Structure 1
Amino acid sequence: MKKNSVLSKMYLVLIFFILYAPIFYLIFYSFNSGGTMYQFEGFTLNWYRELFQDTRLLTIVLNTVIIALLSATVSTILGVAGALAILYARKRRVKNTLLSLNNVLIVSPDVIIGASFLILFTMIGIKLGFISVLLAHIAFSVPIVVLMVLPKLEEMSESMIYAALDLGASRFDVLTKVILPYITPGIFAGFFMALTYSLDDFAVTFFVTGNGFTTLSVEIYSLARRGVSLNINALSALLFVFTMLLVVGYYFITKKSEKPRGMGVRQ
């Protein structure tokens, strides 16, 4: 058993090394004064200074963050409503159909989704830019939120709802004071997953961006074709730190929401 435990730990370390080594390599060379990622010549913060002086790139970062926050917020609201609709669908066939349609969007290739949105926006006359990107991000984020929220709804006991109704609570009170507080961890998980998918997306965004508006992933792709400057390394390092802070924040939020329940059980 000890041998298997050691091997499993070594395997886990190897997997994490493969995943994180390229990221730390990129961060390490963001401090290189040589200007390339082939030989480290000396420590410098010039690439970070250059990054903060590049107003166009900072505007693109701001666009990306705004799109991610807006799409994650709207998709979380729609995803929670969708999960409730799937859970309380009266006919089993309707429930299975809704769940299947939700899952199809997740497994569909991003290129097909992006091309479909491009055709749709062109046909209905929506100008490619901020609105088209926002709508596309909301559309592919909603199914993710549904999958995060639905398991929490399914594990909730119906007796809690019946007890609230027997005590005189309205359906709105049941929703806001019983259901939503119970599924809060799933809602936060769906929000952060939607936020991550939006920040990370390239394929769908590539199809629906227009002249004068772009996101960070599309901009980095276009820069990479001409040769990436190390200020992109600096930007990637800052985004990695920001992502880690989000993960740590989500961890403490979930711990804080679980703590009162644990205290209540001990009492």
Structure 2
Amino acid sequence: MSRKFKLGNLYLGSVFVLLYLPILFLIVYSFNAGDVMQGWAGFSLKHYSELFSDTRILEIVVSTFLIALLSSLLASIIGTAGALYIYNLKHTVVKNIFLSLNNILLVSPDVIIGASFLILFTVMGFALGFTSVLLAHIAFSIPIVVLMVLPRLQEMNQSIVASAKDLGANNWQMISRVILPVISPGILAGFFMAFTYSLDDFAVTFFVTGNGFTTLSVEIYSRARQGVSLEINALSTMMFVVSLLLVLFYYVISTRAVKNKKRSTRLVLPASEGL
């Protein structure tokens, strides 16, 4: 094993320790019998029982997941359609303009996006609440889906589309039976990324929420300002576990998709050789 390889592993390990040590510290103290994070008072599940008996936080959890699910679903549909439109543009300058506009939304600070939506909703006289948060989450999730789907479209074998046209497939049949199955891993990745961003978002949501509606990130921020409670640790631990399960679920699905693709390729090759 070379010295550079050892140093690289040491550096990577140090980075992971710095990233995950605070999370581990948060998880451990969610089981602390005490009420503060200073000192260990013994193992206890009381903060989790307090969490599940808090009806307000449970309602916020449901609302947060509902926003994330609806926004990611709608963003996946709109973003996939947008990626197909950009991919099929023949004019290079126009295509680059759309790609640049999409990338600008990706790199724009969340504070700017949130403030822009707040101004827009205020000018339109739109009431802040569930709908305003949902629209904002859909808007900042669409560029993520476009970014995930476009590479799949660019990698797609054009002979498949040409064969479908030769066999008499119309546009809808080509999209539903040929293109969408090929780019489905990108759509799935975009959905999970949008779902994660929506669950985690604070800045945009902070600007556009109102009328008693809030999400977990905003609620945790509000409670943390009043003093860090270990109930927040328990809630953050639950959110971390959910995020970890989503990552594992996506990994299993993507791994299975790769295996099915390799298996179908092996079946097609002998048949084409026989022809």
TM-score range, shorter chain: over 0.9
TM-score, L = length of structure 1: 0.98
User: What amino acid does structure 1 have at the position aligned with 2:173?
Assistant: D
Q: How far is 1:211 from its partner?
A: 2.4
1:14 paired residue number: 14
Q: How far is 1:3 from its partner?
A: 1.2
2:271 paired residue number: none
User: What amino acid does structure 1 have at the position aligned with 2:249?
Assistant: G
CA contact (8 A) 2:36 2:228 kept: no
2:139 paired residue number: 139
d(CA) in 1 for partners of 2:264 and 2:55? 51
Q: How does 1:153-192 map to 2 (within 5 A)?
A: 153-192=153-192
SS in 2 for 1:31: coil
User: What amino acid does structure 2 have at the position aligned with 1:142?
Assistant: I
User: What amino acid does structure 2 have at the position aligned with 1:249?
Assistant: F
1:145-200 CA deviation, whole Å, 9 max, x = no partner? 10000000011121110011101212111101111000111001100100011011
Q: How does 1:3-152 map to 2 (within 5 A)?
A: 3-152=3-152
d(CA) in 2 for partners of 1:60 and 1:229? 17
1:222 paired residue number: 222
SS in 2 for 1:104: helix
2:270 paired residue number: none
d(CA) in 1 for partners of 2:191 and 2:242? 16
d(CA) in 1 for partners of 2:228 and 2:126? 33
CA contact (8 A) 2:152 2:183 kept: yes
1:199 paired residue number: 199
1:10-33 CA deviation, whole Å, 9 max, x = no partner? 111111111111111000000001
User: What amino acid does structure 1 have at the position aligned with 2:64?
Assistant: T
Which moved further from structure 2: 86-95 or 141-150? Answer: 86-95
d(CA) in 2 for partners of 1:128 and 1:237? 29
For structure 2, the residue ranges without an aligned partner over 5 or more in a row are: 268-275
Q: How much identity, in percent, do the aligned residues show?
A: 61
1:192-219 CA deviation, whole Å, 9 max, x = no partner? 1000110111111000000210011111
How many residue pairs get aligned? The number is 267
CA contact (8 A) 2:75 2:142 kept: yes
SS in 2 for 1:255: helix
2:257 paired residue number: 257
SS in 2 for 1:39: coil
Q: How far is 1:264 from its partner?
A: 2.4
For structure 1, the residue ranges without an aligned partner over 5 or more in a row are: none
Q: How far is 1:38 from its partner?
A: 1.4
2:246 paired residue number: 246
Give me the CA root mean square deviation: 0.9
Poorly superposed stretches of 4+, deviation over 6 Å: none
TM-score, L = length of structure 2: 0.95
